[in-house]
Structure 1
Amino acid sequence: MSVRREDLLNLGTTREVERWECDIQDVDGFSASKSELHLFKSMDAMVEKNSKEMIDEITPEKLAENLAWDEIRIISRVDHDFFQTWSWDGRVFLMNSGGSHHFAASKYIAKRLNIEVPLSGRYRVHGINQVALESLTQDFEIFVMSSYHTHQMCFHRAMQSFKATYYWKDLPRPYTDQCAVFLPKAERRSAKVAEILHASAFQDLGRYLKDISTR
């Protein structure tokens, strides 16, 4: 049985600024790159490791050469790439479709030359609707669980045997191997399962979302 909850549908918020302005040093990361982004703590580390030839000269000419790369579409196109922030994280990401190494090299050189590189484009800030979250957590205990089929089936059989109500929903990227399990507080058996999950140190997603929504 599926349940439609308006509070769950409205849990996320997005605020958009059409023409946001920043400097290249304000950008902390990318959405896409030929490099494995998760291996690097910063853009500088990525370009130092994988694109040394782009930063072999710390000169205005080398900076201009990198910035002229056509795949830096936040510069070379209008209304293509854009900026994005998740409010609980605070960093600014360039949602790009190319040009990550040349962009990182430009940032690297500009910082060392103390040259400003102004950028502008659409800016989306994602947050959590605290009213919707309060509504959800008032009615449910919410936990994180594995989405692997064998794990889900074991949990389902246990809940079926115990005759306890629960609902589940897949989590978004990058947590696609996990799901959220909703246990109605008003149902005695479901509340008992919630006690067991708390005691077993399952992640309390409701509490986690409340914590990050106030950052």
Structure 2
Amino acid sequence: MIVHELSRRRFVGATGGVAGAVVLGSLGTAGPAAAAGPAPAGVWQGARSANGWPILEEAEEFGIEGSGHTVRLADGDAAVILLHVARRFHYEIDQLRAGDVHGHTRSRRAHERYESNHLSGTAIAIRPEAYPVGVKGGLYSHELVIVRDILAELDGSVAWGGDMRTPKESHFQIALKSGHPKVKGVARKIRGWNDSPGEGAGAVDAFDPKRRSKAKAFALRAV
């Protein structure tokens, strides 16, 4: 598939709209968890999503702090981590609007394997119409700094669609299997921030030289 380098400005008109069901798909790079299997005829097969989490018929609805909006996710550590991503986007990149964040879906339609993780409630897509599959370069440079800071802060527990072989810059997913020690540790750290005023989302400076250096080093290791 040819990846097109397109400006975010081309898609700005799409951010106010809401797509229907989230389209599912496949992991462009090898993931840390075994995939459930191929998706013949565009339908995801098996009882687990590509990152190894169990597929859910229903998922709990969670509020995204500060936005007044909600998203459905797998309860527990996955929700804690992905809600942190959504909060940081809201506070540091752009305010979220109704329908901006897509979480759990029951649709098994599949184009890219990594999007199957919506079936398990372990992925979010923030403005997927503005940052669709196959398009790279949609983020401004200062927004990319923040995304890289988030990924480094979460220490490999989250993978970003912009780093996939077939990119989707709206996509963030839990990168490790359920119960993985790193997932548990990162979620515990976020819970601590949530209980401590002045820490966590909305209270960090992604442009601090030390944080930028750490984020750059993490990005190089993750390649």
Interval of TM-score (by shorter of Structure 1 and Structure 2): under 0.3
In terms of fraction of residues, the more helix-rich structure is 1
Using structure 1 for the length normalisation, give the TM-score: 0.26
Higher strand share: 1
Larger radius of gyration between Structure 1 and Structure 2: 1
